[in-house]
Structure 1
Amino acid sequence: MKVSKAQAAENREGILDAAARLYRERGLTGVGVADITRDAGLTHGGLYRHFQSKDALVREACARAFDWSIAPLDGHTPNANVEDRIRSYLSPQHRDAPGSGCPAAALAVDAARAGAELSGVFADGIERNIQRFAQLLAESAPASAEAAPAANRARAMEVLATMVGGLVLARATAAGQPELSLEILTTLQDQLVRLVESPLG
């Protein structure tokens, strides 16, 4: 039975959403095509009607995963201040839900090993997050303490890199030493909140 264009588009979106979540949950090598199509409610063969190869799917799914952002484009959603974003990112809830969270913390090592094309997808996603977070820092600063864009960008990199690294460590230690995992999260929350509240020099 022929599938309508609208249904085909919906199926493709379902595959991308499933892949983006499953890759973040299990890593790029921990997910097969059958896992993705089953999760999307489709047959195994249906995937290749939408994507030329598994590598093409991986790239698009990782790009889709970067729709998630610590600082959404509007910058004016509820709880949009910097402290709330830091505490939400470095929380047990985010640590325990990689499938719906930050792709950088979930997939950076896989992306580094996967070659230039996927690295390019990650670089684009990370650049967007740096720009968004730098904008959030600029909007949060008191008018009397406005900083040069380069200083906001440098601080955004510092904060984001610390958050991603902290989340990776918290996930890696959660099962073996839950107290250490929680300590990493809470310590970095407090350190980073103090950092973003300090003037840029």
Structure 2
Amino acid sequence: MKVSKAQAAQNRQDILEAAARLYREHGLDGIGVADVTRDAGLTHGGLYRHFDSKDALVREACARAFDWSIAPLDGQPDGQASSLAARVQAYLSPQHRDSPGNGCPAAALAVDVARAGGDLSEVFAQGVERNITRFARVIGALGDDQMPDAALRAQAMAMLSSMVGALVLARATAAARPALSDEILQTVLAHLTARETQGG
């Protein structure tokens, strides 16, 4: 049965969404092509109509994963400090720790990407760069058309690195030492939000 162009495009999007989630949840080596296509509701053979290789799928799925952003702020009070604090709190939450498939790609995939290197490293670097810029805009309460200065960029880089590191450690310790895992999240959250309250 021939598939329409619209359906083919939807199938491709479904594959990318499934791969972006599953790779974050299980790692790049923990998921095969058959797992991705099954999760997308398609057959294994159909994947190669949309992607030249598994590596091409991984690169696009990693790029797609970086479309993720820190929790929406519906219902949060207006203002730069509360918006920033709410984002940090959402990132360093037990819910985010326990849902890697729907969360930050940097915390979920950085080690795998470092091992893979090559073209995937470039895709990841572009995503990290985009996240640094987006977060710097949040810190500086800038519009999407405004570029952050060097000080905002440095602040965003330091905060994001602390957040990602804390999330990685919290995930790694959660099964064996849940109290330690919670303590890591709470300590880094308190540290980062206290700095913001004191003006950086």
Q: Is the contact between residue 71 and residue 90 of structure 2 (CA under 8 Å) also seen in structure 1? A: no
Write the mapping of 1:118-157 to structure 2, written as runs, cut at 5 A: 118-139=120-141, 149-157=149-157
Q: Is the contact between residue 71 and residue 91 of structure 2 (CA under 8 Å) also seen in structure 1? A: no
Write the mapping of 1:33-182 to structure 2, written as runs, cut at 5 A: 33-70=33-70, 78-79=75-76, 81-139=83-141, 149-182=149-182
Q: CA deviation at 1:78?
A: 4.9
1:13-44 CA-to-partner distances (Å, cap 9, x unmatched) read 00000000000000000000000000000000
CA distance in 2, matches of 1:162, 1:115: 23
Q: CA deviation at 1:198?
A: 3.0
The unaligned stretches of length 5 or more in structure 2 are: 77-81, 143-147
Secondary structure at the residue paired with 1:41?
coil
- Identical pairs, percent: 67
Structure 2 CA distance for partners of 1:151 and 1:198, relative to 1, 3 Å: farther
1:99-149 CA-to-partner distances (Å, cap 9, x unmatched) read 000000000000111122111111111111100111111118xxxxxxx82
TM-score by length of 1: 0.90
Runs of 4+ in 1 over 3 A off after TM superposition: 76-80
Secondary structure at the residue paired with 1:67?
coil
Q: Which amino acid aligns with 1:111?
A: V
Q: CA deviation at 1:197?
A: 2.7
Q: Is the contact between residue 82 and residue 137 of structure 1 (CA under 8 Å) also seen in structure 2? A: yes
Structure 2 CA distance for partners of 1:77 and 1:139, relative to 1, 3 Å: farther
Q: What is the aligned residue count?
A: 190
1:125-176 CA-to-partner distances (Å, cap 9, x unmatched) read 1111100111111118xxxxxxx82111111000000000000000000000
Paired position in structure 2 for 1:22: 22
The CA RMSD over aligned residues, in Å, is 1.7
Q: Is the contact between residue 88 and residue 94 of structure 1 (CA under 8 Å) also seen in structure 2? A: yes
1:49-68 CA-to-partner distances (Å, cap 9, x unmatched) read 00000000000000000000
Q: Which amino acid aligns with 2:102?
A: S
Q: CA deviation at 1:69?
A: 1.9
TM-score by length of 2: 0.91
Deviates further, 112-121 or 45-54:
112-121
The unaligned stretches of length 5 or more in structure 1 are: 141-147
CA distance in 1, matches of 2:5, 2:199: 54
Secondary structure at the residue paired with 1:182?
helix
CA distance in 2, matches of 1:32, 1:87: 33
Paired position in structure 1 for 2:196: 196
CA distance in 1, matches of 2:70, 2:157: 13
